[in-house]
Amino acid sequence: MAECGIFGTYSFRNVAFNIDGAMVTNFDEGDDCITIAPTSDLGTPKVGADGGSILSVTADQSATVTLRLLQNSPMNRFLENKVRRMRSGALTGTTFAIGFTDLSSTETGGCTQAIVMREPTITRGVNTNNLEWAIFCPCWTKSTVQVNAA
Query: pLDDT grade, residue 128 (50/70/90)?
Result: confident
- Predicted local confidence at residue 124, as pLDDT: 87
At residue 145, the pLDDT reads 66
pLDDT at position 147, please? 62
How many Å apart are CA 137 and CA 28, to the nearest integer?
Answer: 22
Segments forming the whole domain that contains residue 27: 14-38+59-144
Between 6 and 107, the higher pLDDT residue: 107
pLDDT above 80 for 10 = yes
Residue 20 lies in a domain: yes
43: region left, alpha or beta (phi > 0 left; psi from -120 to 50 alpha): beta
User: pLDDT for 64-117, tens place per residue?
Assistant: 999 999 999 999 999 999 999 999 998 888 999 999 999 888 899 999 999 999
pLDDT above 90 (res 46): yes
Question: Cα-flanking dihedrals φ and ψ of residue 76, to 5°?
Answer: -60, -45
- Say if residue 119 is exposed, middle or buried (CB neighbours under 10 Å; 0-12, 13-18, 19+): middle
- This prediction has a pTM of 0.85
pLDDT at 91: 84
- Domain assignment of residue 48, yes or no: no
Residue 8 within any structural domain of the chain = no
Quote the number of domains for the chain. Answer: 1
Residue 2, helix vs strand vs coil: coil
Distance CA 145, CA 135 (A): 23
Q: How many helical (H) and strand (E) elements, i.e. helices and strands, does the chain have?
A: 1, 10
* Residue 54 included in any domain: no
Q: Is residue 135 part of a domain?
A: yes
Q: Does residue 72 belong to any structural domain of this protein? A: yes
Residue 112 lies in a domain: yes
Q: Is 38's pLDDT higher than 90?
A: yes
- Which pLDDT score is estimated for 25? 96
Does any domain span residue 49?
Answer: no
Q: Comparing 1 with 107, which gets the higher pLDDT?
A: 107
More confident of the two residues 143 and 52: 52
